[in-house]
Amino acid sequence: QKNYRVEKFDSLPKETKSDIAFELKEQVPYLKDSDMNETDVLANLQGLVDEPTLKVVQMPISEIKGFDRTPSKAAVKKYLEMLKTSEAPPIIVSGNKFVDGGHRLQAYIDSGRTSVPAVDIKNLLDLDWKKYLANEISSPKAEVKQSRPSGTAFAAPVAAPAKAPSTKPIPPSPG
């Protein structure tokens, strides 16, 4: 099991959010066929009360599938310099399938690192965007697998039914 944390979309680096919006526009048929552009897609993911969440994982490079690009040496060099003092923005994956961030991934490989920070956008790629944009379903949340000791019962919390707002006036408090 890879170590991961769940992050709110707004907490991701600006470059990563833009890359995600671009990939969604390119890969999700409903968005591809719409009049929306990347800015519109981004506007439907950030700054929301019910904010989408994503898994951010330190992914072993050996587990990443589908990285078969030859990135620009100049861009890789820029990220190699960055890696001397900090981390590069995360790459984008869907499960363990490479989606975007080839220059960053190649820089991690060239630096001898064995893992790379990655944002998993599978929940956004699998989302019913037509229903989401019509506010028929809530923002996608990263699936969080909870571990429990073996032999213990586990029940998911049951949400209380929504209550209609009271129309009764509130009596004044005694004095």
pLDDT digits (tens, 9 = 90+) for 67-124: 988 889 999 999 999 999 999 999 999 999 999 999 999 999 999 999 999 999 999 9
Instruction: State yes or no: pLDDT of 23 exceeds 80.
Output: yes
CA torsion 19-77-93-138 (nearest 10°) is: -30
Helical segments of the chain, H only: 14-27, 29-32, 38-43, 73-83, 102-110, 122-125, 129-133
Instruction: State yes or no: pLDDT of 172 exceeds 60.
Output: no
Least confident of 130-134, 140-144, 164-168: 164-168
Query: With contact defined as beta carbons under 8 Å apart, do 35 and 133 qualify?
Result: no
pLDDT digits (tens, 9 = 90+) for 41-75: 999 999 999 999 999 999 999 999 999 888 899 99
pTM, to two decimals: 0.78
Instruction: State yes or no: pLDDT of 144 exceeds 90.
Output: no
Residue 153: what pLDDT? Answer: 33
Integer angstrom CA distances of residue 40 from 77, 93, 143, 157, 160:
32, 22, 25, 35, 35
pLDDT-derived band at 174, boundaries 50, 70, 90:
low
Instruction: State yes or no: pLDDT of 167 exceeds 90.
Output: no
